[in-house]
A and B are shown apart, each in its own frame.
Chain A
Amino acid sequence: MQVEYPKPKWSERFLLLDMLEGLKTTLRELFRPKVTIRYPEERLDPADRFRGMFRFSFDRCIACKLCAVACPIDIIYIDVHDEQREVDGKMKKLKVLDRYDIDVKRCMFCSLCEEACPTKPKSIWLTTKTYELATYDRNGLYFNMQELEYWENRPEFPGLPPEVEGGEPPKQIPGAAE
């Protein structure tokens, strides 16, 4: 298809006024604020609905396992036992969480577990504005319930284990292997 351009005016052909226009534009841009964010020093605050790292509240959780059922890739592992406990002077049968682990390395942050949670407020939620999840080790992305509750003061990664020929296998977090 032939594109019809407007015929250039005399001033456009001979006086190079467009070039002056270009120079003007670049000069203006020189003094404009820049868009770069110097990441480690400056950070953008994610939006309120941003799905970041999980947060878990042991006190709110009623151990109903609905989140584990809702999870499409089954990465939430829950173990529960029943316990007789005295609440308000009466003996009641309560479910007590033994284990609440999430294998975050396989998670796709779909937030279905959060939607399935029946407690109010939710006892598992993802809107934490934390996105710095990188670790040096696969096992560093497997979180148990203490870590999920207190991930903010997660301990530093101590470094990779020394590679020894025929040495001990890499350390496994207990319960990680199914």
Chain B
Amino acid sequence: MNAWMTYLVWPLVKFLVAFIIVQVIVAAMNWVERRLLGFVQARLGPNRVGPKGLLQIIADPVKFLLKEDIVPASAEKVAYFLGPILPLIPTFLVYCLIPFGPPPTFVAARVNVAILLVLALTSTGVYGIILGGWASNNKYSLMGGLRSAAQMVSYEVPFGLSIVGVLMMVGSLDLVKIVDYQATNVWNFIPQIVACFIFFVSMNAENNRTPFDLPEAESELVAGYHTEYSAMKFAFFMLAEYSAMLVNCCLLVSLYFGGWTLAMFGHGLTSSALRHWGWIGGLIGTAIFFVKVMTFMLVYIWFRATFPRFRFDQLMDLGWKWMIPLALGNIFVTAIFILAGQERLMYWIGIAVLGAVVYYMKPKRVHASRVSEA
């Protein structure tokens, strides 16, 4: 009976709680994204439904549920129904593996090859998109599906390679161990700044987000693979996309930004410090984790608001000619530093790069004469 509880009931309960929280975040993200995009574009975004437009979160699903569900007459029926469901299942399963807080309570299933499993599950999401695009029996959908396949397969490579540097430094595939390593050393994004950048870019490409949203390029392909989908099936596609975004943000935070901890060199809120306070500490850790994740979701939206879409050959160029060599080079350099026992030197390189970026980003005073010339 006890084994049933520990191995079946509790993990299921944890998974359900994580699932519900994640779904609420995903629904809220839709509103946050539209609102922020509006702000960037000097307008207000959805603000009519409820206070500040917050009830839009409820209004959207209700509208999706009430809309007519159209199936094209010439569609391949079984594949057409499988299309929206297939990308959902793996992204939901991944939430079992992600450590939302200190391990015993806040991880549904602690697996010692968690990263491998996560990569394997998330990369199956492309099947649903291809199936959906093909089954709609529409050339635009098919083009969208094919583009998505090409894009996701080519960005899977730098996505995986960028993680290798972290794995070499930590020496484990366990997400919990990676987070604990970062709390006792430096957060991985400082020594692995190049890998972190590659990871973020390829995670944008994996999710078909805007600089890389060729599969659903409105100006070329109507709406890409979900042209023929309406009502709840379309909502499933959106749900899968936003869930995958959230999964990737969780991964990014766990791998590079210290997960649920707020500590470096063992000082601050490490796992042991949080465990000292019992379940309240665990909740604090989860809160820290979600704050970090939401920050990166906002960065996603920031990128979407900023960058125009790539051309398809440019996209492939970036993937194969830049990201993959850069990731391989990063592995090589990391290996050299680890062999030489000079990991501290990598910290300084990372800090120098970050400093340069911050220095470049800092607001500069522009002389009035230069403004009028331009």
Fill in one digit per residue for A25-43: 1 if any B CB lies within 8 Å of its CB, else 0: 1111110101110100000
CB distance from A107 to the nearest CB of B (A): 34
Q: Are A34 and B360 in contact (CB under 8 A)?
A: no
Q: Once the chains are docked, how many angstroms separate the CA of A149 from the CA of B360?
A: 64
Fill in one digit per residue for A72-113: 1 if any B CB lies within 8 Å of its CB, else 0: 000000000000000000000000000000000000000000
A19 contacts partner chain B, Cβ-Cβ < 8 Å: yes
B302 contacts partner chain A, Cβ-Cβ < 8 Å: yes
Knowing A19-B307, A23-B302 are in contact, say whether A30-B40 is a contact too (CB < 8 A).
yes
Q: Once the chains are docked, how many angstroms separate the CA of A35 from the CA of B41?
A: 10
Q: Are A23 and B43 in contact (CB under 8 A)?
A: no
Q: Which A residues between 4 and 36 are near B, CB-CB below 8 angstroms?
A: 17, 19-20, 22-30, 32, 34-36
Pick from B36, B43, B302, B361: contact of A35, CB under 8 Å: B43
Knowing A19-B307, A20-B360, A24-B361 are in contact, say whether A29-B302 is a contact too (CB < 8 A).
no
CB distance from B83 to the nearest CB of A (A): 34
Pick from B36, B43, B363: contact of A36, CB under 8 Å: B43
B44 contacts partner chain A, Cβ-Cβ < 8 Å: yes
Q: Are A23 and B39 in contact (CB under 8 A)?
A: no
Chain B residue nearest in CB terms to A24: B361
Pick from B36, B307, B361: contact of A30, CB under 8 Å: B36
Q: Are B361 and A20 in contact (CB under 8 A)?
A: yes
Q: Once the chains are docked, how many angstroms separate the CA of A38 from the CA of B36?
A: 18
Q: Which residues of A contact B306 (CB under 8 A)?
A: 19, 22-23, 25-26
Q: Are B361 and A26 in contact (CB under 8 A)?
A: no
| Chain B: interface residue total (CB-CB under 8 A) | 18
CB distance from B223 to the nearest CB of A (A): 24
Q: Once the chains are docked, how many angstroms separate the CA of A17 from the CA of B306?
A: 14
Chain A residue nearest in CB terms to B357: A20
Q: Are B39 and A34 in contact (CB under 8 A)?
A: yes
Q: Are B357 and A32 in contact (CB under 8 A)?
A: no
Q: Are A32 and B42 in contact (CB under 8 A)?
A: yes
Chain B residue nearest in CB terms to A37: B44
Q: Which residues of B contact A22 (CB under 8 A)?
A: 306-307
Q: Which residues of A contact B361 (CB under 8 A)?
A: 20, 23-24
CB distance from A46 to the nearest CB of B (A): 22
Pick from A28, A32, A36: contact of B44, CB under 8 Å: A36
Q: Which residues of B contact A17 (CB under 8 A)?
A: 360
Fill in one digit per residue for B248-279: 1 if any A CB lies within 8 Å of its CB, else 0: 00000000000000000000000000000000
Q: Once the chains are docked, how many angstroms separate the CA of A23 from the CA of B41?
A: 13
Chain A residue nearest in CB terms to B305: A26
CB distance from B303 to the nearest CB of A (A): 8
Q: Are A26 and B360 in contact (CB under 8 A)?
A: no
Q: Once the chains are docked, how many angstroms separate the CA of A36 from the CA of B40?
A: 12
CB distance from A6 to the nearest CB of B (A): 15
Q: Once the chains are docked, how many angstroms separate the CA of A23 from the CA of B42?
A: 15
Knowing A20-B360, A23-B302, A26-B302 are in contact, say whether A34-B44 is a contact too (CB < 8 A).
yes
Q: Are B42 and A27 in contact (CB under 8 A)?
A: no
CB distance from A24 to the nearest CB of B (A): 6
Q: Once the chains are docked, how many angstroms separate the CA of A38 from the CA of B44?
A: 9
Q: Among B43, B47, B302, B305, find the residue whose CB has the most chain A CB atoms closer than 10 A.
A: B305
CB distance from B33 to the nearest CB of A (A): 13
CB distance from A34 to the nearest CB of B (A): 6
Q: Which residues of A contact B41 (CB under 8 A)?
A: 29
Q: Which residues of A contact B38 (CB under 8 A)?
A: 34
Q: Are B307 and A35 in contact (CB under 8 A)?
A: no
CB distance from B348 to the nearest CB of A (A): 19
Q: Once the chains are docked, how many angstroms separate the CA of A24 from the CA of B41?
A: 14
Q: Once the chains are docked, how many angstroms separate the CA of A124 from the CA of B197?
A: 69
Q: Once the chains are docked, how many angstroms separate the CA of A28 from the CA of B364?
A: 12
Show 29 residue pairs from A and B whose CB-CB distance is below 8 angstroms, ordered by the A residue: A17-B360, A19-B307, A20-B357, A20-B360, A20-B361, A22-B306, A22-B307, A23-B302, A23-B303, A24-B363, A25-B306, A26-B40, A26-B302, A26-B305, A27-B302, A28-B363, A29-B40, A30-B36, A32-B42, A34-B38, A34-B39, A34-B43, A34-B44, A35-B42, A35-B43, A36-B43, A36-B44, A38-B44, A38-B47
Q: A29-B39, A29-B41, A36-B43 are in contact. List 6 more A-B contacts (CB 8 A).
A: A20-B360, A20-B361, A23-B303, A24-B361, A30-B39, A34-B42
B: which residues have CB within 8 A of A?
36, 38-44, 47, 302-303, 305-307, 357, 360-361, 363
